[in-house]
């Protein structure tokens, strides 16, 4: 197995943190998180649990109250029909994906004909950096499916069909998408689910940004295509929706037999998610509509601040990202030439103290991801500093 790759976003974020620790003012436009305090109600719920003092090992699939709250909310908002037994709480959505690929790419995978078969994992690009990295760690083979700005950065049935080969068993979808900020319509998803079914693919639908949609577009969960429920897995998270990134609470919703295996795998790794953070998350679900609205309103305002700064300092009118926390922009649009995205981002951090993430890490060279999850001060100042720095490449 090749050496596991550290995620590019995490690497850039840590260089930025190290600069900050030395007292240098860094404009951090790299973080994949809403920079907000976790709501007081959530903190209080966790503290109350800690103060009661009874903190045993968690049960492997998580607290039933939390599992139920998660599936009930999905059912109410997106018309899914998962039951409590069809949900496991994981250490963030990321570890949910890790466990899923450990199982689905492993020796006992239910989607392999023979234990030694290779599992190819179909990944639309630009992609969240961790999909191919985790697939490789688990012995899977990433099959990258490129989309273009012309396709609106969306996977189409044509691209899916032409990328497919008989070793392909898993399809990742990321709706809203990190890094492009796009969301899929019901018709687009239906066409992809129909084709995935025809090709016998298990779909892992990463929906961790579902509550960060800023337009009137309907958010459609793949879990709402209940006719294909057996082959659709939904990954959710408390991280972005409740401003709880550091708490590490995620959810996998899938067939009961898959959840049972994931629970068994978690007993041999993390032993489940700390009850302290689970109780914080239970508090979050009790006030979920209120919290998600607050986070969304704050992030929408920051998106608008970033877009206004891009207009002011780069003289650019770009389409607004519909969802997530990211502006996905080409070096060409920034009028930057003669430098790769990696070089541009590293030098912007070293020379202008602006942290951004190069598109290459997401499978698309020549692009940069700017996060508007940052504090408002960072957004305006960061774009100003980036524009000044970028001038030398005009």
280 near ligand PMP, rule: CB under 6 A? no
User: Is position 237 an interface residue for ligand PMP (rule: CB under 6 A)?
Assistant: yes
Beta bridge partners of 256: none
Burial (CB count within 10 angstroms: exposed 0-12, middle 13-18, buried 19+), residue 130: buried
Q: From its phi and psi, is residue 127 left (phi > 0), alpha (psi between -120 and 50) or beta?
A: beta
Residues that contact ligand PMP, how many (by CB under 6 A):
13
Q: Which of 160, 220, 218 is nearest to 194 (CA)?
A: 160
Stretch of 47-55, 114-122, 224-232, 237-245 lying at the interface with ligand PMP (CB under 6 A): 237-245
* Beta bridge partner(s), residue 355: 28
Cβ nearer to ligand PMP, comparing 239 with 274:
239
Element of type H or E holding 372: none
31 to each of 17, 45, 355, 357, how far by Cα in Å?
Answer: 10, 26, 8, 9
- Site membership for ligand PMP, residue 178 (CB under 6 A): yes
With respect to ligand PMP, which residue has the nearer C-beta, 10 or 308?
A: 10
233 beta partners:
204
Rounded Cα gap, residues 343 and 356, in angstroms: 11
- Rounded to the nearest 10°, the torsion over CA 183, 326, 100, 223 is -20
**Contact, 145 vs 191, CB < 8 A?**
no
User: Of 63 and 207, which CB lies nearer to ligand PMP in the complex structure?
Assistant: 207
Q: Which of residues 328-387 bind ligand PMP (CB under 6 A)?
A: none
Q: Give the whole-angstrom CA distance, residue 127 versus residue 173.
A: 9
Q: Does 13 bind ligand PMP (CB under 6 A)?
A: no
| Interatomic CA distance for residues 33 and 239, integer angstroms | 8
C-beta neighbour count of 3 within 10 angstroms:
7
Q: Using the rule CB under 6 A, is 205 a contact of ligand PMP?
A: no
Interface with ligand PMP (CB under 6 A), residue from 60, 62, 250, 283: 250
Contact status: 143 vs ligand PMP (CB under 6 A): no
Residue 93 in the binding site for ligand PMP (CB under 6 A):
yes
**Residue in 109, 120, 147, 174 binding ligand PMP, rule: CB under 6 A:** 174
| Cβ neighbourhood burial of 165 (10 Å; 0-12, 13-18, 19+) | exposed
Considering only residues 245, 274, 278, 356, which one is a binding residue for ligand PMP as defined by CB under 6 A? 245
Q: Residue 92 interacts with ligand PMP (CB under 6 A)?
A: yes
Please identify, among the stretches 90-98, 160-168, 193-201, 374-382, the one whose residues bind ligand PMP according to the rule CB under 6 A. Answer: 90-98
Q: How far is the CB of 236 from ligand PMP (least distance, A)?
A: 8
252: which strand partners? 88, 235
Give the residue with the Cβ less far from ligand PMP, 109 or 324. 324
Please report whether residue 181 would count as binding ligand PMP according to CB under 6 A.
no
Contact 342, 331 (CB under 8 A): no
Looking at the Cβ atoms of 181 and 382, the one nearer to ligand PMP is 181
User: Burial level of 59, CB count in 10 A (0-12/13-18/19+)?
Assistant: middle
- Residue 28 engages ligand PMP in binding (rule: CB under 6 A): no
Asked if 147 interacts with ligand PMP (CB under 6 A), we say: no
- Residue 32 in contact with ligand PMP, rule: CB under 6 A: yes
Q: Which CB sits closer to ligand PMP, 92 or 283?
A: 92
Provide, rounded to whole angstroms, the least separation between the CB of residue 101 and ligand PMP: 13
Assess 128 for contact with ligand PMP (CB under 6 A): yes
Cis-peptide, bond into residue 207, ω within 30° of zero: no
206 or 231: whose CB is closer to ligand PMP? 206
- The correct pick among 188, 206, 231, 378 for binding ligand PMP (CB under 6 A) is 206
Binding mask 39-78 for ligand PMP (x = CB under 6 A): ----------------------------------------
To 5 degrees, how large is the angle CA 366–CA 372–CA 373? 125
| Chain contacts with ligand PMP (rule: CB under 6 A) | 32, 92-94, 128, 174, 178, 206, 208, 237, 239, 245, 250
């Amino acid at each position: 197995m090749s050496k596991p790759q550290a995620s590019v976003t995490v690497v850039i974020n840590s260089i930025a943190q190290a600069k900050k620790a030395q007292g240098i003012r860094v404009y951090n436009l790299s973080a994949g998180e809403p920079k907000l305090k976790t709501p007081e109600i959530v903190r209080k719920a966790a503290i109350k649990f800690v103060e009661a003092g009874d903190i045993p090992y968690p049960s492997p699939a998580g607290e039933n109250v939390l599992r139920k709250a998660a599936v009930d909310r999905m059912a109410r908002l997106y018309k899914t029909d998962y039951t409590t037994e069809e949900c496991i709480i994981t250490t963030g959505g990321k570890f949910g994906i890790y466990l899923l690929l450990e199982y689905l790419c492993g020796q006992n995978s239910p989607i392999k004909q023979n234990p030694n078969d290779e599992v190819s994992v179909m990944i639309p690009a630009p992609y969240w950096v961790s999909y191919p990295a985790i697939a490789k760690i688990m012995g899977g083979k990433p099959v990258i499916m490129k989309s273009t700005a012309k396709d609106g950065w969306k996977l189409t049935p044509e691209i899916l069909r032409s990328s497919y080969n008989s070793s392909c068993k898993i399809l990742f979808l990321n709706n809203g998408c990190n890094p492009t900020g796009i969301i899929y319509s019901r018709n687009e998803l239906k066409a992809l689910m129909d084709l995935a079914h025809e090709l016998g693919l298990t779909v892992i639908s990463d929906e961790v940004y579902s509550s960060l949609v800023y337009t009137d577009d309907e958010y459609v969960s793949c879990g709402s295509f209940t006719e294909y429920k057996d082959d659709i897995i939904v990954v959710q998270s408390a991280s972005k929706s409740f401003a709880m990134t550091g708490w590490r609470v995620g959810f996998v919703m899938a067939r009961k037999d898959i959840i049972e295996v994931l629970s068994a795998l978690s007993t041999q790794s993390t032993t489940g998610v700390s009850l302290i953070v689970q109780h914080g998350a239970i508090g979050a679900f009790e006030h979920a509509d209120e919290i998600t609205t607050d986070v969304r309103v704050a992030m929408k305002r920051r998106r608008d601040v970033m877009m206004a700064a891009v207009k002011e300092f780069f003289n650019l009118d770009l389409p607004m990202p519909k969802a997530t926390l990211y502006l996905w922009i080409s070096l060409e649009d920034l009028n930057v030439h003669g430098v790769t995205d990696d070089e541009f981002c590293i030098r912007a951090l070293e020379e202008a103290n602006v942290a951004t993430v190069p598109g290459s890490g997401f499978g698309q060279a020549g692009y940069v991801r700017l996060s508007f999850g940052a504090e408002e001060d960072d957004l305006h100042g960061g774009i100003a500093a980036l524009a000044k720095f970028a001038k030398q490449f005009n």
